[in-house]
Amino acid sequence: MEQFDQQKREEESRRQLYLEQQKARMAQRLPESGAVSAVRPEATTEAGSSFQAEQARDRQAQRLPEGPGKEEKEGEKEKKKTPLKKLKALSEKLSEELEAGKEAIKELLKQCWTGLIPCFGLPLIWINIHFFLRHLVGIKFFCQFGEEWLPAGPAGALLKRMGAGEKIRLAEIIALIFLDLLVLFAILGILTIIYFMVTPTETFKLLWSAIWE
């Protein structure tokens, strides 16, 4: 406050000095015979406007260095952030990315179930990997069976509380076991056929001995 009053007094003194200088200049310009001590109102007005313009220029010159100063202060505030705040921001960002990754994994599992027939059972490989990593290893990044069909938001949470997710999970596990057994029998049948084609004589002997016995 004292600094502001002092600055105001300095501006007032500069203004009075400037007006006195203008009066002295106008008095010198007037002829000596009819010299008048008073100054015309127009001159006073011009002097005041000139002083205001000069004062505005001074204020603008004082404000110029404020810009970089503010930026430097903001940079210092950014540097003064504690490691705890930085760690918190990093954890929030990482949790958002993990949540997006979980949703992508859910969508992938859903597409694998729906694409079993069009893709001739090849998505069954990823379904088994997902089941192994979630239900046997216990990695929570992979969703449980049945959760991929539940909608996001309050509706999905309500269905989960009602037990819909557990029922779907049990049905998917049964379906996975049945499909794995089916694939296993198909592989054994194919290997048997290949063996019969490679060794027809031994195959015929085995069949004949089995029938004879």
Q: What is the pLDDT of residues 69-93, one digit of tens each?
A: 555 555 555 555 577 777 777 777 7
Rounded to an integer, the average pLDDT of 153-175 is 86
- Total domains present in the chain: 2
Q: Are residues 52 and 105 in the same domain?
A: no
Report if residue 70 sits inside a domain: no
* Helix, coil or strand: residue 30: coil
The closest alpha carbon to 110, from 142, 149, 164, belongs to 149
Phi and psi torsions of 143, nearest 5°:
-70, 160
pLDDT (0 to 100) of residue 208:
79
Higher pLDDT, 2 or 167: 167
Q: Are residues 129 and 52 in the same domain?
A: no
Mark out the alpha helices in 35-163 (DSSP H runs).
41-63, 66-79, 83-114, 124-131, 154-161
Report if residue 84 sits inside a domain: no
pLDDT (0 to 100) of residue 1:
58
Higher pLDDT, 67 or 115: 115
Report if residue 67 sits inside a domain: no
Report if residue 6 sits inside a domain: yes
Q: Are residues 55 and 138 in the same domain?
A: no
Q: Are residues 54 and 105 in the same domain?
A: no
Q: Are residues 115 and 47 in the same domain?
A: no
pLDDT (0 to 100) of residue 23:
74
Domain that residue 14 falls in: 1-30+37-59
